[in-house]
Amino acid sequence: MTTTMKPGRFGVFGGRYVPETLMANLIELEAAFEAAWEDKSFKADLAATLADFVGRPTPLYFAERLSGEWGGRVFLKREDLTHTGAHKINNAVGQALLAKRMGKQRIVAETGAGQHGVATAAACARLGLSCRVYMGALDCERQQPNVARMKLLGAEVFPCEGGTRNLKVAINEAIRDWVAHPNETYYLLGSAVGPHPYPTIVRELQSVIGIEAREQFSRREGKLPDAVIACVGGGSNAIGIFAPFLDDKVALFGVEAGGDSPQHGSCTLAHGRPGVLHGAFSYVLQDGDGQITGTHSIAPGLDYPGVGPQHSALKDSGRVRYEIETDETALAAFHELSRIEGILPALESSHALAFARRYLRENKGKTVIVNLSGRGDKDLPSIMARSTGLPARDGGANAR
């Protein structure tokens, strides 16, 4: 279940819809990744980097007090404890090692919440690679700590104005840069979106989450959990934890951002329809004329009008159920975990927690693993503004 039915496709989804100038680069990247993935020395370098630099394996934490409150058993896969504070580092170090193997010295990346940008900047600093990160101007405003971290790590941060001023615009600009400098540049894409082979590369690099979680839970409990839950924007943390469970009798739930109401959020799989965005055929939020529509979420990493093509296939097959949580329910789950367990989750992860609470209250006694994809330090300005009634840097109407 972790492989495509044919190269570059997940059922009808996926493919390469890019300018002709990039086709050679994508073909080169596909061949380079396949060779690296079969190379024991590359795998050894990656494993050592994940252990010594990233801090893997991350714990699978039993949230005992939260479990008592919610009426089931809650385990948290603690990706918030990785170096740089989120799952994004797993993919960033893997692709940075691949870029260096390919002889690329200039890295461009996009970021929404800033975590992929920070992870990429850290990976490039470690390997001595040049790094430029594109970030929506709105996201620069609401994620200022991460902007500062990227700059301290040696990255050039380019704020992207125009349009929605969020992740979609950042991806557009990163792709434009790559088109303009195709030979010397490696585009280090941060989510399981984009043209083939990126969705496959990102899934394989992020599957370490699910591989560890499955082994850790089985060793502790002697069985598998009832459900695995993860938030979904582009979908990298979700496909990373889902992939090793796809052939198991385990319920899988992806949780999209409903914003201030499910009709005004970033619910691509709930409200979108198939179309092409950023080089791949997938579910996309679009109007009747096929124009991409605006999105909104208090969580910048979920504020995106598309989704990875494998998630689109998993939705249509019914293997994964995709649910919606709003800003309000995510914030409530954020505060519950913080006060009950002493853990500040990212607002993205808080959407998964909110659904876990709802699921357990409807299914008493069940056991779930929630992918705690990142920590909440980056979100404190938005959270504190909401708490005090001040205008929050969470996009609001400007993000739509």
Catalytic residue among 207, 350, 373, 382: 373
115 and 374 Cβ atoms separated by less than 8 Å: yes
H helix or E strand, kind and range, residue 382: helix 380-388
Catalytic residue among 110, 204, 212, 336: 110
**Non-local CB neighbours of 221 within 8 Å, separated by 6+ positions:** 367
Residues in the chain: 400
Burial 47-72 (b: 16+ CB within 10 A, else e): eebbeebbebbbebbebeebbeebeb
Please, what is the Cα angle at 236 between 56 and 295, to 5 degrees?
Answer: 140
Q: How far apart are CA 82 and CA 389, in angstroms?
A: 32
Q: Provide the pairing of β-strand 130-136 with 106-111.
A: parallel
- Tokens 């409150």 sit on residue: 69
Q: Is 100 a catalytic residue?
A: no
CA-based torsion, 388, 390, 396, 397: positive or negative = positive
DSSP secondary structure letters along 308-337: -HHHHHHHHHTSEEEEEE-HHHHHHHHHHH
Q: Is 373 a catalytic residue?
A: yes
Helices (H) and strands (E) in the chain — how many of each? 16, 14
Q: Looking at this protein, which amino acid is placed at residue 138?
A: L
DSSP state of 258: -
333 and 187 Cβ atoms separated by less than 8 Å: no
Q: 125: left (phi > 0), else alpha (psi -120 to 50), else beta?
A: alpha
Q: Please tell me whether residue 106 adopts helix, strand or coil conformation.
A: strand
Full strand arrangement of the beta sheet holding 280-284: 9-10, 13-14, 280-284, 273-277
Q: How far apart are CA 237 and CA 174, in angstroms?
A: 21
Catalytic residue among 88, 315, 366, 378: 88
Q: Cite the active site residues.
A: 88, 110, 373
